[in-house]
Every structure is written in structure tokens, then in C-alpha cells.
Amino acid sequence: MKTKEFDKFFRDKIDSMDGVPKSAAWNKAATWERLNEAMTRRPSGKWYKIAAASVALFFVKSQKIFAAASFATKAVVVVSTVAVVSTTSVVVYNASTRNDNTSQNIVASDNRTNTTVAENKIEATEESVVETPVEDNTFSVVTENNSKRETVKTPEQGNKSTVTQPEDKNTVVETPVTITQDAPADPVVETPRSQKREMSLEINDILFKKNSVEVNPKSMTELNYILSLMRENPDLKAMIMGYYDEKEKDGMHLQSQRATVVWKYLVSQGIEKTRLNFGGYGASKKYSSKLEEGRELNRRVEVMLSE
């Protein structure tokens, strides 16, 4: 007998069966009662809604957990010293702002003169905030040994919404700092001054003209500022990231070309090639591209400096 016939033999035999197998102790009527009860007891529709809602809730929760986990791993990788300088404002973000814990604002200032000054300024303000908590809520200041990350991001020029209060000549910005669940309950965390702090340095984006690789004249000051920073701090390395706005034709080409333009400029001004890294990062937008203003800000090259 061949294999196919063998299978067919079994199929036919099983298909030809009728009724309930004698070996099975099964009560047909009882099963019907169960089924009938299950059908009538169930409120129509509602059951599914509850299920869908709980599934959605689970997804939200799991994503939160995932995000927190991924940030925790990133924090280990982050390069040591990072400070953020911009023409207008500085926002200090605690990377572990993922939990539902309370957040509170602290004030940071920035200074354009040089990196160390900016860093000191931030430290100083943080220190002052640590000593004088604004609210009763607890918060932590991020340090290296806490294995948390602190990134400092610059909003676009003229983004005044974050500015809360002027302090001397420096611009003052809102700084949300939150604690994670595993953070100590102690409201004040001491910051060891001797240690280098993990921060990321990001300069205002360099903007470009529409459909071209020409740098917007507004951004030349920004570019030169990066250059001066890199000259003063030989340890600094730069990551150059090119973007394009959604309405541009041939954006994939433009994004890398823009990064290359910045790269070429820095190299021509005497920055070592080994300190520069670049790539195209697509149409990921920072601002809505409905208006031309938003699109202008999306046609950009971001430069991230790290030590």
C-alpha cells in the first residue's frame, strides 16, 4: 500500500464514522445547556468592548515598560560629557521621564561663551534647585553613577514657549525632571562635583534653502559656532545628521548631500575627518509640515557633539 492510499484509508474510515464514539463519555445535552447558558448570559457586544479596551490598555502599559527599558540601556552607552548650548534657550530633559510620577520644573540657564561655562551654569542652577525645591514633589538630579541619562536639547530659534523667566542676561527655560520608580525616595540626590556628567550637546539646527543644498544664511552663525566649539575642544566629536522636508523632491538625495555640505565645510576649516561622522536621516519631522515655516525648520542638519 502506498503512502497516499494509506492516508486515504484512514480519512475514509474516520469520515465514515457516525455518532459519538463509544469510548467517549460525553453528555450531549449537558454541553448544549452549557452553550445555551454561555450565549444568553453574555451581554451582546459589551464583552468584546471590554476585551478590546483591556488589550489596548495592556499595549500602552507594555510600550511604556519597553520604552523605559530601552532608555535604561541607552543610558549606559551615552558618552560622558555633554552640554547644550543654543542661541535662545536650553531644555534639560531627563531621559527617564517615562513614568507617571510627578514632574516638576527646574530652571536652567545657558551661556553662549563656551562649553565649560554652559556646563557650569547648568550645574549651578541645578544645585540651587536641589537646595530649594519648588514643590513638595520629589525629584532627582541625574548623575553618572545613577546610570541615568540627561540629554540637553535645543529648541528652534525663536521658540519662546519654553521660556519662563528671565534671569540676568541668560535665557531661562523650563526643565522637566522626573524620577523613575527605582529612584531613591529621598527627595534630594547629591551630585558629586568631581565626576563628569552625562549630557548631550546639540546645537541649533542648520537650516537649508528649499530644494537645494545651500545653507540658509541665517544658519551660518550656527555653523561657525560649531566650528569654534570644535576648535576649542579637541576632544569633541560631531555627528552630522541630514534631514529633508516632506514636500521636497528627491529628498533622499538631499538629506545626505546636506550632511555632506556641513561635513565638507568643517573639514575645509581644519577639523580632522576622524572626529566627524555623518548620515542622512530621512524626513523625520520636528515640526508640522503644513505651513512653509514648519517645512523650513524641517529642512535641517542636526549636529550632535559629544566627547
Partner 1 sequence: MEERLLKLFRDKDRLVHKLFYEHYADSMFRLCFRYLKNEHDAEDVMVTGFMKVFDHVKTFEYRGKGSFDGWVKRILVNESLMFLRKNHNFNMVPENYCKEIDEDFSPDSEISAEEIFNLVRTLPIGYRTVFNLYAVEGFTHKDIAKKLGISENTSKSQLSKARNAIIKLLEDNKMYLERTRKAGGE
The DSSP bridge partners found for residue 152 are 92
Closest distance to partner 1 from the beta carbon of 7 (Å): 4
Element (H, E) at 10: helix 3-15
**Distance between CA atoms of 160 and 173, rounded to whole angstroms?**
9
Position 132 contacts partner 1 (CB under 8 A): no
Phi, psi (degrees; rounded to nearest 5) at 104? -145, 155
> Does residue number 28 form part of the binding site for partner 1 (CB under 8 A)?
yes
Taking the least distance from each CB to partner 1, the nearer of 15 and 100 is: 15
Spatial contact of 122 and 90, defined as CB atoms under 8 Å apart: yes
Q: Does 21 bind partner 1 (CB under 8 A)?
A: yes
Q: Among 8, 31, 35, which residue's Cα sits nearest to residue 20?
A: 31
Cβ-in-10-Å burial (0-12, 13-18, 19+) of 247 comes to: middle
Nearer to partner 1, 47 or 182 (CB): 47
**Exposed e or buried b for every residue in 4-37, given b needs 16+ CB within 10 A?**
eeeeeeeeeeeeeeeeeeeeeeeeeeeeeeeeee
- Closer to partner 1 by CB, 8 or 64: give it: 8
| Rounded least distance, CB 29 to partner 1, Å | 10
Task: Give the residue with the Cβ less far from partner 1, 14 or 76.
Answer: 14
Assess 49 for contact with partner 1 (CB under 8 A). Answer: no
- Residue of 2, 41, 169, 249 that binds partner 1 (CB under 8 A): 2
Grouping H, G, I as helix, E, B as strand and the rest as coil, residue 155 is coil
Nearest to 141 by CA among 199, 100, 99, 87: 199
Residue 77 sits in the site that holds partner 1 (CB under 8 A): no
31 near partner 1 (CB under 8 A) = yes
By CB under 8 A, residue 7 contacts partner 1: yes
Residues 205-264 that bind partner 1 (CB under 8 A): none
Query: Quick one: which segment of 18-26, 64-72, 117-125, 269-277 binds partner 1 (CB under 8 A)?
Result: 18-26
Q: Is there binding between residue 52 and partner 1 (CB under 8 A)?
A: no
* 22 is an interface residue for partner 1 by CB under 8 A: yes
Query: Which is nearer to partner 1, 31 or 288 (by Cβ)?
Result: 31
Burial 121-156 (b: 16+ CB within 10 A, else e): bbbebbeebbeeeeeeebbbbbbbebebbbbbebbb
DSSP result, 35-68: HHHHHHHSPTTHHHHHHHHHHHHHHHHHHHHHHH
Size of the site for partner 1 (CB under 8 A): 32
Residue 11, interface with partner 1 (CB under 8 A)?
Answer: yes
Work out how close the CB of 52 gets to partner 1 at its nearest, in angstroms, rounded to a whole number: 14
Residue 41 found at the interface with partner 1 (CB under 8 A) = no
Query: Considering beta carbons, is residue 3 or 145 the nearer one to partner 1?
Result: 3
State the minimum distance, in angstroms, from the CB of residue 44 to partner 1: 9
Supply 301's cell numbers: 542638519
* Interface contacts to partner 1, rule CB under 8 A: 1-3, 6-7, 9-11, 13-26, 28, 31-32, 34-36, 38-40, 42
